[in-house]
C-alpha cells in the first residue's frame, strides 16, 4: 500500500508513527526486545505522551529469525493464524551503548540505537536493512481525539496499518508472492495478496502467498492471513515495503544463501508438501467444462485414447457430472450416468483413476442446501438476516463455513458418498470468491478469512482423502491457495487462453509459484478459454507433459487430440510415454520435494543463482537439477533458449552443446530444447504405458558428460514413495567407477563424453 506521494511527501490520509530510537533493549528468552519511541528522547520528560513501537527478535535455529512489532499490544483483529512449526532457540545477544547484536550462528541481527535501524547480516555482509522511517504504524484517515474532558478519552479513530520496509541492493531481484502471471522478477510491482478469480492474464492471482526471496540469499514470510500489501521497489525503489492491517506485524526472515536452503527453512515452518501418488504424474483427461457429455461420450474418449496408443492415467468428470442448477449437491446426473458405480468400475478395470470436480458453493433449491441452512453450516450475512447468498455462479448459492466443525463433518460426509461410488480424488475448484460481508461460526475476521478460507477448504478435503484412500493415495487438483497450502498438492494454473502469450504467462505463474514454496503444479494443456490451433495444441502438449502434472482440459470444447489433427495423437502419445520413462528421475525429485521442500519444477535462477543470464529467465526451467526445458513459444517452431556454463546433451537427439551461450533453433513437434546437465546420472524406466511401476527393474542408466573428479548420485525410488537404491558414478583417472547399494537390474548403462556414447560394464553391483 502506498503511503507516500513521491519520496519526500506522505499521502494526506496518512498519519505515521515511526520507530526513531531504541530507548530500551533487553535480552529475553530466545532473543531480544526493543522499545522504540516515535521521536528522539533527549530527557526523561520527553517520554510523556510519547507513542512507541515495540519489537522482538526470536531465533528459530541458525538460519531463521522471527520478527514482531506492535503499537497497541492489546489490539485484536480476529485474523486466523497460519499453522506453523516453530521452535525457538537461544542466540547470543550483546547489548551496549550503541545498540545490540543478536547472533544465531549463521545469521546476525544488528540494531542501531539512534537513529533507530536494524539489519540482517551473514558471512560478513549486510543482506538487507530497515532504515530511517522503515518501521511504523500508519494511522490511515485519523481523526484527532480531544483530551479536554474525561468523556472524550476515547479510542483513537483511524484505520491502523503496520509497515516495514527492507532495503534492496544494486542488482537485487525479488521473486515469489505465489502464482503470479506478471513479470517473473517482481521489482517495480505493487502486489496485493488477495485471492481472486481473475484468469492468467492479469495482475491478480488465485494463489497469493505473503512470501518472497531474492537473489541476495534471503527470504521473508509475512505472517498475516489478511491482505498483505507489498510495494516491491515501487513506492521506494530501494526498498520492499509491506504493510498489514492492524496494530501488529509479524514476519520471518530466512537465510539461505541458496534458494534451496531458503525454501527448506520456509517449508519447515509452514509445512512440507505431501507426496502425490505416482499414478497422478501420468496424463489426466477431462470432459471439459461446459461441454455436453454422458457415459457414451466419456467411454468414447477413454477408448479413443487406448486405440491411439496414448497412455491415460486419470479420467476427470468436470462440473456437469451433477445437474445444472445443482452445483454442488454431489448427486450424479442420473440421466447421463444411470449406473455410475458400474461405469466407474469399468473404468477402473481399464487401469484408470477417477477424479470429480467439486467446490464449496451450494446452490439453493437442493436438499443439500436446505440441510446446510437448517444446520447453520453456511456462512451467515453480517446483518444477521440469515444465510449469505448470491446468484454469482450458482442460483442463490451459499458457502460452506469451514470454521464450524459440524459443517466440516456434514460436507465431508457428503463427499464420502462420492468416494464410495469409486471416485479416487477431487478437483477442488474455486475457494477465491469468498465474501467479506459475512459472519463466521468461530468469529474470525471476514477480511482475514478471505484468503485463509482456501486453506481450510483444501485441508478438509485432503484429510478426507487420506482417511478414506490412505496416506499415500491422497491427491487434489486445487486452484486456490495461501501460505501452507503446499501441504495439499496438486495445484493447477487456472483459466488461461489458447494462445502462445497465454502459454508463456502460464509458465511465468508456475515459476513464481515454485519460488513460493509449492512443488507440484499443472495447467490446462492448450489453454482453457477458446480452442487452440493444432500447432499450439501440440506445442503445449510437449510443455504440459514435462510439467510435474499433466492435464488435458478446456472450457467449451473437448481436448482429445484427434479433434485437432492426426499428428496430435502421435505427439501426445510420444511425450506421455517419455514422461512415463522419466518417472524414476521425476519421482525421486518428488520425494525430495516432500522431504525438503525443494520444488520439482525450478526457475533457472533457482539452480543458477550466480549466473546473471538466469536472473530474469522465465521462458525455460529446470525439471529437478538435471533437466533443462525450454518450451517452443511461437508458431514458427523456433525456440530461443540459454544453456548455462558446462556441457549439455539433448535428451532425445544426443547432440552435445557448450554452455554459457544462447541458441536459436527450429524444432519439429516431436522435440524441443530438452537438455541434460553435465555430470548427471539419469535413470530411465523401461515402462512407457503408465507412470506407476517398478522403477528399479530394467532401468537404463546414462552418465552425461562426466568431468574428471566428478561424482554423480542417482536415487531410485519405488512407486510407494521410498528410495530403494542409491547408485553412484565417479570419474577418476580417466575411468568411470560405478557402484550401487543394491543389485541393479539394468537394461543398459551408457556414458556420454564429448557427445559420443559408449557402453559401460556395471558389474554385479
What confidence tens digit (pLDDT) does each residue in 47-77 have? 999 999 999 999 999 999 999 999 999 999 8
Largest CA distance in the chain: 94
Q: What is the pLDDT of residues 260-276, one digit of tens each?
A: 999 999 999 999 999 99
Whether 246 and 171 have beta carbons less than 8 Å apart is answered as: no
Residue 277 DSSP symbol: -
Q: Is the pLDDT of residue 747 over 80?
A: no
Neighbours of 520 (CB within 10 A): 29
For residue 727, give Cα distances in angstroms to 63, 156, 687, 695, 730. Answer: 32, 67, 20, 13, 10
Q: Is the pLDDT of residue 146 over 80?
A: no
Q: Is the pLDDT of residue 765 over 70?
A: no
Q: What is the pLDDT of residues 701-736, one digit of tens each?
A: 999 999 999 999 999 999 999 999 999 999 999 899
Packed helices 583-596 and 566-581: angle between N→C axes, nearest 10 degrees = 60
Taking 3-state DSSP, the helix, strand and coil percentages for the chain, each rounded to the nearest 5, stand at 20, 30, 45
At residue 143, the pLDDT reads 87
Which ranges in 204-307 belong to alpha helices (H)? Answer: 259-270, 295-307
621-759 and 4-174+215-255 share a CATH fold: yes
At residue 764, the pLDDT reads 38
Whether 538 and 568 have beta carbons less than 8 Å apart is answered as: yes
Q: What is the pLDDT of residues 433-483, one digit of tens each?
A: 999 999 999 999 999 999 999 999 999 999 999 999 999 999 999 999 999
- Does the bond joining 620 to the residue before it have cis omega, within 30 degrees of 0? no
Per-residue confidence at 157, pLDDT binned at 50, 70, 90?
confident
Closest C-alpha to 529, from 559, 508, 504, 550: 559
Closest C-alpha to 606, from 614, 15, 526: 614
Neighbours of 534 (CB within 10 A): 17
DSSP of 724-757, one letter per residue? EEEEEEEEETTEEEEEESS---EEEEEEEETTEE
What is the mean pLDDT of the segment spanning 376-404? 97
At residue 516, the pLDDT reads 98
Q: Is the pLDDT of residue 294 over 70?
A: yes
Average pLDDT over all residues of the chain? 96
At residue 154, the pLDDT reads 60
Q: What is the pLDDT of residues 532-577, one digit of tens each?
A: 999 999 999 999 999 999 999 999 999 999 999 999 999 999 999 9
Question: Out of 226-230, 381-385, 651-655, 747-751, which region has the weakest mean confidence (pLDDT)?
Answer: 747-751
What is the mean pLDDT of the segment spanning 215-237? 97
Q: Is the pLDDT of residue 331 over 80?
A: yes
Domain ranges for the chain? 4-174+215-255, 278-359+404-436+443-596, 621-759
Q: Is the pLDDT of residue 151 over 60?
A: no
Q: What is the pLDDT of residues 573-629, one digit of tens each?
A: 999 999 999 999 999 999 999 999 999 999 999 999 999 999 999 999 999 999 999
Q: What is the pLDDT of residues 73-104, one digit of tens each?
A: 999 989 999 999 999 999 999 999 999 999 99
Q: Is the pLDDT of residue 763 over 70?
A: no
Entry pTM: 0.96
What is the distance between the alpha carbons of residues 630 and 285, in angstroms, rounded to a whole number?
24
What is the mean pLDDT of the segment spanning 679-695? 97
Please tell me the class of the 621-759 domain: mainly beta
Any idea which residues carry the catalytic annotation? 429, 432, 495
Which of 2.40.50.140, 2.40.128.640, 2.40.10.10, 2.60.40.1760 is the CATH number of 4-174+215-255?
2.60.40.1760
Query: Does domain 278-359+404-436+443-596 correspond to CATH entry 3.40.50.2300?
Result: no
What is the mean pLDDT of the segment spanning 407-423? 98
Q: Is the pLDDT of residue 150 over 70?
A: no
Q: Is the pLDDT of residue 218 over 50?
A: yes
What is the mean pLDDT of the segment spanning 200-205? 94
Whether 716 and 698 have beta carbons less than 8 Å apart is answered as: no
Amino acid at each position: 500500500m502506498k503511503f507516500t506521494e513521491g519520496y519526500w511527501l506522505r499521502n494526506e490520509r496518512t498519519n505515521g508513527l515511526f520507530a526513531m530510537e531504541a530507548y530500551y533493549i533487553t535480552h529475553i528468552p530466545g532473543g531480544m526486545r526493543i522499545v522504540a519511541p516515535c521521536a528522539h528522547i533527549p530527557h526523561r520528560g520527553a517520554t510523556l505522551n510519547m507513542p512507541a513501537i515495540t519489537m522482538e527478535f526470536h531465533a528459530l535455529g541458525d538460519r531463521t529469525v522471527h520478527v514482531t512489532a506492535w503499537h497497541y499490544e492489546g489490539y485484536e483483529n480476529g485474523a486466523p493464524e497460519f499453522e506453523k512449526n516453530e521452535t525457538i532457540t537461544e542466540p547470543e545477544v550483546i547489548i551496549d551503548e550503541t545498540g545490540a547484536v543478536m547472533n544465531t550462528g549463521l545469521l546476525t541481527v544488528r540494531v542501531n540505537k539512534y537513529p533507530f535501524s536494524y539489519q540482517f547480516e551473514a558471512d560478513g555482509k549486510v543482506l538487507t536493512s530497515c532504515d530511517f522511517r522503515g518501521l511504523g504504524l500508519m494511522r490511515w484517515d485519523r481523526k484527532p481525539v480531544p483530551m479536554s474532558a474525561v468523556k472524550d478519552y476515547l479510542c483513537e479513530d483511524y484505520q491502523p496499518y503496520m509497515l516495514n520496509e527492507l532495503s534492496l541492493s544494486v542488482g537485487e531481484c525479488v521473486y515469489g508472492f505465489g502464482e503470479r502471471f506478471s513479470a517473473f522478477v517482481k521489482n517495480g510491482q505493487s502486489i496485493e495478496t488477495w485471492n481472486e478469480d481473475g484468469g492468467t492474464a492479469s495482475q491478480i492471482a488465485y494463489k497469493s502467498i505473503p512470501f518472497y526471496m531474492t537473489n541476495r540469499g534471503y527470504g521473508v514470510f509475512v505472517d498475516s492471513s489478511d491482505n498483505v500489501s507489498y510495494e516491491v521497489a515501487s513506492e521506494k525503489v530501494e526498498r520492499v515495503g509491506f504493510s498489514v492491517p492492524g496494530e501488529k506485524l509479524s514476519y520471518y526472515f530466512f537465510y539461505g544463501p541458496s534458494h534451496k536452503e531458503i525454501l527448506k527453512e520456509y517449508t519447515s515452518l509452514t509445512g512440507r508438501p505431501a507426496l502425490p501418488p505416482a499414478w497422478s504424474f501420468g496424463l489426466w483427461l477431462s470432459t471439459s467444462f461446459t461441454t455436453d457429455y454422458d457415459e457414451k461420450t466419456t467411454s468414447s474418449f477413454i477408448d479413443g485414447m487406448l486405440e491411439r496408443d496414448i497412455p491415460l492415467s486419470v479420467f476427470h468428470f468436470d462440473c456437469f457430472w451433477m445437474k445444472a442448477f445443482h452445483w454442488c449437491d454431489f448427486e450424479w446426473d442420473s440421466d447421463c450416468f444411470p449406473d455410475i458405480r458400474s461405469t466407474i468400475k469399468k473404468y477402473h478395470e481399464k487401469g484408470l483413476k477417477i477424479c470429480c470436480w467439486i467446490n464449496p458453493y451450494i446452490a439453493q433449491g437442493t436438499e443439500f442446501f436446505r440441510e446446510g441452512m437448517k444446520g447453520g453450516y453456511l456462512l451467515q450475512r453480517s446483518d444477521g438476516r440469515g444465510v449469505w447468498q448470491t446468484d454469482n455462479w450458482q442460483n442463490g448459492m451459499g458457502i460452506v463455513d469451514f470454521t464450524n466443525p459440524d459443517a466440516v463433518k456434514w460436507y465431508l460426509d457428503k463427499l464420502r458418498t462420492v468416494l464410495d461410488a469409486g471416485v479416487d480424488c477431487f478437483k477442488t475448484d474455486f475457494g477465491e470468491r469468498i465474501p467479506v460481508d459475512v459472519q463466521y461460526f468461530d468469529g474470525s475476521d471476514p477480511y482475514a478469512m478471505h484468503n485463509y478460507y482456501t486453506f481450510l477448504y483444501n485441508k478438509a478435503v485432503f484429510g478426507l482423502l487420506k482417511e478414506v484412500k490412505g496416506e499415500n493415495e491422497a491427491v487434489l487438483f486445487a486452484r486456490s491457495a495461501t501460505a501452507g497450502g503446499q501441504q495439499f498438492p496438486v495445484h493447477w494454473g487456472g483459466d488461461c487462453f489458447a494462445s502462445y502469450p497465454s502459454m508463456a504467462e502460464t509458465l511465468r505463474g508456475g515459476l513464481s509459484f515454485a519460488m513460493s514454496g509449492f512443488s507440484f503444479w499443472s495447467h490446462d494443456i492448450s489453454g482453457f478459454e477458446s480452442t487452440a490451433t493444432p500447432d499450439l495444441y501440440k506445442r503445449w502438449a510437449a510443455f504440459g507433459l514435462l510439467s510435474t502434472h499433466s492435464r488435458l482440459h478446456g472450457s467449451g470444447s473437448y481436448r482429445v487430440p484427434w479433434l485437432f489433427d492426426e499428428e496430435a495423437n502421435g505427439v501426445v502419445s510420444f511425450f506421455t510415454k517419455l514422461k512415463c520413462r522419466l518417472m524414476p528421475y521425476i519421482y525421486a525429485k518428488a520425494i525430495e520435494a516432500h522431504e525438503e521442500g525443494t520444488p520439482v519444477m525450478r526457475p533457472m535462477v533457482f539452480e543458477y543463482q550466480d549466473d546473471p543470464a538466469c536472473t530474469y529467465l522465465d521462458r525455460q526451467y529446470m525439471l529437478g537439477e538435471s533437466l533443462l526445458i525450454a518450451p517452443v513459444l511461437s508458431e514458427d517452431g523456433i525456440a530461443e533458449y540459454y544453456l548455462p556454463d558446462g556441457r549439455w546433451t539433448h535428451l532425445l537427439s544426443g547432440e552435445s552443446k557448450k554452455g554459457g551461450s544462447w541458441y536459436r533453433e527450429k524444432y519439429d513437434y516431436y522435440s524441443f530444447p530438452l537438455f541434460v546437465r553435465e555430470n548427471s546420472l539419469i535413470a530411465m524406466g523401461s515402462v512407457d504405458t503408465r507412470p506407476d511401476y517398478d522403477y528399479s527393474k530394467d532401468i537404463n542408466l546414462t552418465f552425461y558428460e562426466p568431468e574428471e573428479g566428478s561424482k554423480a548420485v542417482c536415487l531410485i525410488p519405488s512407486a510407494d514413495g521410498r528410495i530403494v537404491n542409491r547408485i553412484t558414478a565417479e570419474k577418476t583417472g580417466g575411468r568411470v567407477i560405478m557402484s550401487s547399494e543394491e543389485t541393479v537390474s539394468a537394461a543398459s548403462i551408457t556414458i556420454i563424453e564429448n557427445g559420443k556414447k559408449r557402453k559401460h560394464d556395471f558389474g554385479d553391483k
